[in-house]
Amino acid sequence: MNMKNESLWNSYLESSKKELKEDISCDVLIIGGGLSGLLTAYYLKDSNLQVTVVERNKIGSGITSKMTGKVTLLQDILSKISDKDIELYIKSQIEGLNLLKKNIEENKLDCDFFKNVSYLFTTKKSNQKKLEKIKNIFEKLKLDIKEENLNLHNIKVKYALKMENAYEINPIKYLNEIRKLLTNVNIYEKVNVLEIIKEKGIFTVKTSNNLKIIAKKIVFATNYPYFLKPLFFPLKVRMEKSYIGYGDTSLELKERFNAINIDKDKYSLRFYKNKMLYLRESRIISSKVNDEKGFLKIENDVVLKNINNLWSNEDIVTNDNLPIIGMVSDGMYILTGYNAWGILSSHIGSLMIANMIKKRKKYLKYQELFSPKMKLSLKKFLNSSLNIYESINGYLKGIITKNKLILYSRDKAIYVADNGYCYLVKRKCPHLKCNLIFNSVEKTWDCPCHGSRFDLEGNVIAGPSKYDIKVKSVK
């Protein structure tokens, strides 16, 4: 069996037949064709507004196609959210879960949505008190939770919590089903937005193929909202990279479950079609830039064997571990920063944005909690300083890190494939000129500063870069 260096969910992606070939206008333009973008369109579809969605690549091919698809309230970030925010955050996730279930039940969506149980655990005795604190909060909110002995083979679990009300989903099948419901929404792929100009309350959006989209309101539903300079985005977030494998497992499956730990050395697992999705490492992208070592942690772990798929994902981690959802300025909205837990937050966030646009007050009680505005505190100031350090660290590692498979010049890099085909690209990321590092497993050019990624030919596929790095490819 040949292993695929791509996400398990990629085989479920469906292409759009609709191309943007001329200038258009709309009431609401949604930039980003993942869960957040299409769900925002879904919650606006019954309004009288003309809604358009544009995606830089293929619909769903970003973060949505790379997630594990766990649906649970027992999230590892709960151990990092402040005491004053954690209860309201948990309530937002409960409402997000209810919205997800409502969408599936009312529309009879086929998306491999199954109930299971969820575990949140630690491999360190010193972290037990953090879990006990989470247990107390869940009990205060009258949520069913209990301590449980958890046996995960070679993973040495010291303490674990168990919750019955958890689920799993195929995120791309769900996205495809939502897309079918958007019969009155224009959806375009391969639309790369380069510039946004606002004049007299109207937005003019310029694309890479010299077309314009005129919109009254804009929603940024991208993982990294690369246009929002007034938000000082690099100060508020950092990029976290994780490595995921899918294959057979040595674990005995007595029940359908998912699990994740709160420790720095990350373990995350769930099951799909009698095989296991296993996330073994999560780290800031600039802290370690050797992707091969990250993937080897998956390949060398005895829990996973006969690997079918191997891929990485990049999530935005915010300074306060809370999503960034709300109005940036008049007529401009944002949904991002889900801290690797986007399924439930994208539901409550999309409905919030839709209701803001429709001027409805329902579901707006999380406005302040998720506000994009910079809230000053000592902790956030220190985290902002850390984000600056990480960016500098990534820049320096990009300079000194070389891949033996690559031929380098001062401003270009060449990868020679096994078939003799040569891929020539620009060596620096167009975003902030960091040196790119070649990911030899997934065959991508990755930026260690802010997470831009490019395919072999140099087409931008993720991150804040608006431009490609391709020069030409030759035999």
| Strand 460-462 relative to strand 453-454, pairing | antiparallel
pLDDT computed for residue 472 by the predictor: 64
Contacts of 322 (CB under 8 A, 6+ apart): 81, 85, 89, 337, 339, 369, 370
By the 10 Å C-beta count (0-12 exposed, 13-18 middle, 19+ buried), 373 is classed as exposed
Residue at token pair 């508020």 = 236
More confident residue, 377 or 129: 129
**The token pair that represents 425 in the structure block:** 């690209």
pLDDT in tens, 282-295: 888 877 778 888 89
pLDDT computed for residue 375 by the predictor: 56
pLDDT in tens, 293-352: 889 999 999 889 999 999 999 999 998 999 999 999 999 999 999 999 999 999 999 999
pLDDT in tens, 114-153: 999 999 999 999 999 999 999 999 999 999 999 999 988 8
Helix (H, G, I), strand (E, B) or coil at 19: coil
**The token pair that represents 381 in the structure block:** 């100031």
Domains of the chain: 402-474 (2.102.10.10)
pLDDT computed for residue 376 by the predictor: 47
pTM over 0.85: yes
C-alpha distances out from residue 264 to 79, 136, 315, Å = 12, 23, 16
Does position 47 have pLDDT exceeding 80, yes or no? Answer: yes
Residue at token pair 């929002």 = 228
Task: Yes or no: say if 395 and 381 are a contact pair by the CB < 8 Å rule.
Answer: no
What number of other Cβ atoms are within 10 A of residue 302's Cβ?
9
C-alpha distances out from residue 136 to 83, 162, 166, 421, Å = 12, 13, 19, 59
- DSSP assignment of 189-245 equals SS--EEEEEEETTEEEEEETTS-EEEEEEEEE-SSS-TT-GGGTHHHHEEEEEEEEE
By the 10 Å C-beta count (0-12 exposed, 13-18 middle, 19+ buried), 440 is classed as middle
3-state class percentages of the chain: helix first, strand second, coil last, to nearest 5: 25, 30, 40
